[in-house]
Amino acid sequence: MNLLESLGQYTTVVADTGDIEAIAQHRPQDATTNPSLLYHAAQMPAYRHLVEEATEIASDHGGTHDCMAEEFIDRLFVLFGCEILKVVPGRVSTEVAASLSFDTPATVVKARKLISLYEKRGISRDRILIKIASTWEGIKAAELLESEGIHCNLTLVFSFAQAVACAQAGVTLISPFVGRIYDWYKKEHGGAEPADQDPGIASVTRIYNYYKKFGYKTQVMGASFRNVNQIVRLAGCDLLTISPELLDQLEKTAGVVERRMDPIKALASKEERLFLDEKTFRWMHNEDAMATEKLAEGIRKFNSDAHHLQEFALSQVAEKVG
């Protein structure tokens, strides 16, 4: 048995890529995408037909070049999502633009549009996770969307406050960023953190135990891994989204993974149940310097990645309509 097979006994494995061939190779349950991943995938000759189809639809849609570029991006996300769903049995995460991270109504409108585009292609909303940054505004949007049967993946989770608020909102799953938390503490402390004191692992473990202790349905999907050790130390977590490079390493390494996270053991957690209103959430999140910095940085980075995709979209549309 290899480490990937062993991990799969306890945890749902998710592929973190827009490369459909890589997804098919590793046979994960689900897949996640973002603008950066799709931008790179869209450059590959294998997916040129999807780019051309999105360009055709966007040019037919008309309007200004910016409007057509936005339409191109929405269509490209959905076209890639549909292709990914042909090779995974579960769900695909499709991202709402990071520029909407502080706009609840606009996030809701965009999510509804993406779901509508999927449904017009015969894809059930049960197979789609709308990926939203876990700001207060994003969490409120997700709460409304979940009430409509639109399932959400709240991303860029760095603080316990974010995790608590997401559970209160009844979101389907959250994505705590293990590697980015580790990076911050490594930089802060001027060197690598010991493997058994990894702050990213500690953060996910605390959230997992809190959710299981108090019976929240929200699932925890660890994300943003720097190495295989971080992954195996979270064996038992509901889901883990893993890059193709690390999936390769897990698959090529013989061995058995020990279960580290267990819902029964979580009952012994000393955490007390919290109920957060907006003021309490903002203060509690603000008190976590790492989380405050990494959430802001993450939104900026996702937005920058989206700009690259938008520039690509504008070039495709301009070429098409002249």
Q: Residues with catalytic annotation?
A: 131
CB distance 157 to 175 below 8 Å: yes
C-alpha span between 218 and 169 (Å, rounded): 9
C-alpha span between 240 and 231 (Å, rounded): 8
Is 95 in a helix, a strand, or coil?
strand
128 phi/psi in degrees, rounded to 5:
-120, 135
Q: What is the DSSP letter of 236?
A: T
C-alpha span between 152 and 278 (Å, rounded): 20
Tell me the chain's radius of gyration from C-alpha atoms.
19
C-alpha span between 131 and 32 (Å, rounded): 9
Single-letter residue type at 198: D
C-alpha span between 240 and 232 (Å, rounded): 10
